[in-house]
Amino acid sequence: MSIKDLARRAVRALTPYQSARRIGGQGNVWLNANEAPLAYPFIIDPARLNRYPECQPPAVIAAYAAYAGVADEQVLVSRGADEAIELLIRTFCEAGQDQILICPPTYGMYAISAETCGVGIVEVPLTAARQPDWPEIKSRLSDVKLVFLCSPNNPTGDLVGREGLNELLEAASDRALIVVDEAYIEFCPEASVVDLLARFPNLVVTRTLSKAFALAGIRCGFTLAAGEVIALLSKVIAPYPIPDPVAQIAAEALSAKGLTLMQERVRELNAQKARLKAELAALPCVTEIFEDKGNFVLVRFDDGARVFAAMKEAGIILRDFSSKPGLNDSVRITVGYRGEMDAVVNVLRDIR
């Protein structure tokens, strides 16, 4: 018997998430993980580093609640939104029995977390208009505990339609939780569904500091939900999930000054996104530009593999989605600063 045979069956069968970091690459222009292009300095106070941190640092909770417009008891802070996804599954799904529902193509961690936890996955693909297939999702509600929707959707950039979501929340009342992943919502804040929390106790919204806040390195995310849901998640979360330096940085990023900086960054990146899209639209090798509500643009080329290889050659690392259903020849470009976007366009111009 080998050590491998000791592992759980679900773990033996698991293909780990192919994160941008794991795939790696060689280059100097990193546009493959939807990160912000620049880091900002923070000063850490070491006075409490000998102590265990608070499970839910009150300053961080209060700051995020104020920013999101909800009550403190509706907020949970975790090790990135990824931990929030896993906590939801571990809290609400019985291993070997329950299922989650996902709408591919979408963010990969919903399925990976379910598989690691031994929880089943019901796939209801997006429609041709790249919207959740509302009637089909409703017809599967009795089979699932959690429905994961992503808005803006990674990697297609589409928003989830509000009317459909409203009706789904009603249909799922007392049957399933509807999770809306708003990792990119700062790039189109008007599209947030957080206001619906006041009407629907079965709505859960996940957020992160990894994208618009330029803090992917500290691993800090949030769950917004009814107090009852947050209380259940709090039973499952680790006793000290948020390192004290992370809490200090998060609180500063959520201060008035931090929020202003974030909004300036969003304005600049959205402007660069508009420029990039205009350039792409004029290029003969581009066959489709997907929605652009996040800090990334998914682009279909006449020959996606060729574009990906040419970029790699030029030291520009992008993310290839061509193996995903319906996304043949599609490559996702994270929006960076002007020089990075110019570098991308220059390579594309040279492709014949």
Ligand X SMILES: *Cc1c(COP(=O)(O)O)cnc(C)c1O
Of 188, 190, 193, 202, nearest in space to 274 by CA:
188
Cα 31 to Cα 343: distance, rounded to the nearest angstrom: 11
Least distance to ligand X, CB of residue 266, Å: 16
> Does the protein bind ligand X through residue 221 (CB under 6 A)?
yes
Q: How far is CA 184 from each of CA 69, 211, 218, 247, rounded to the nearest angstrom? A: 17, 7, 17, 21
> Does the protein bind ligand X through residue 272 (CB under 6 A)?
no
Measured from the CB atom, the residue of 99 and 223 that comes closer to ligand X is 223
> Radius of gyration of the chain from Cα atoms?
20
> Does the protein bind ligand X through residue 151 (CB under 6 A)?
no
> Does the protein bind ligand X through residue 181 (CB under 6 A)?
yes
Report the residue from 64, 67, 92, 107 that binds ligand X according to the rule CB under 6 A.
Answer: 107
Q: Residue 222 forms beta bridges with which residues?
A: 77, 207
Measured from the CB atom, the residue of 98 and 181 that comes closer to ligand X is 181
**Beta-sheet strand order (sheet of 319-320):** 286-289, 296-301, 330-334, 319-320
DSSP symbol at 18: -
Question: Which tokens is 260 given?
Answer: 């202003």
> Does the protein bind ligand X through residue 298 (CB under 6 A)?
no
Cα 33 to Cα 35: distance, rounded to the nearest angstrom: 5
Site for ligand X in 79-98 (CB under 6 A): 80-82
Report the residue from 75, 150, 180, 204 that binds ligand X according to the rule CB under 6 A.
Answer: 150
Measured from the CB atom, the residue of 212 and 229 that comes closer to ligand X is 212
Measured from the CB atom, the residue of 224 and 285 that comes closer to ligand X is 224
> Does the protein bind ligand X through residue 105 (CB under 6 A)?
no
Helices (H), 106-243: 109-116, 134-139, 162-171, 227-236
Measured from the CB atom, the residue of 217 and 284 that comes closer to ligand X is 217
Report the residue from 99, 113, 156, 208 that binds ligand X according to the rule CB under 6 A.
Answer: 208
> Does the protein bind ligand X through residue 192 (CB under 6 A)?
no
Cα-Cα-Cα-Cα dihedral of 191, 291, 264, 221, to 10°?
Answer: 60
Cα dihedral sign, 280-282-286-291: positive
> Does the protein bind ligand X through residue 75 (CB under 6 A)?
no
Is residue 225 within 8 Å of residue 91, measured between CB atoms?
no
Least distance to ligand X, CB of residue 62, Å: 20
Site for ligand X in 310-349 (CB under 6 A): none
Report the residue from 63, 70, 147, 216 that binds ligand X according to the rule CB under 6 A.
Answer: 216
Amino acid in position 134: W
Q: Total number of residues binding ligand X (CB under 6 A)?
A: 13
Cα 177 to Cα 286: distance, rounded to the nearest angstrom: 39
Least distance to ligand X, CB of residue 109, Å: 6
Report the residue from 87, 103, 137, 183 that binds ligand X according to the rule CB under 6 A.
Answer: 183
Cis peptide leading into residue 239 (ω within 30°)? no
Report the residue from 32, 99, 113, 154 that binds ligand X according to the rule CB under 6 A.
Answer: 154
* Binding interface with ligand X (CB under 6 A): 34, 80-82, 107, 150, 154, 181, 183, 208, 210, 216, 221
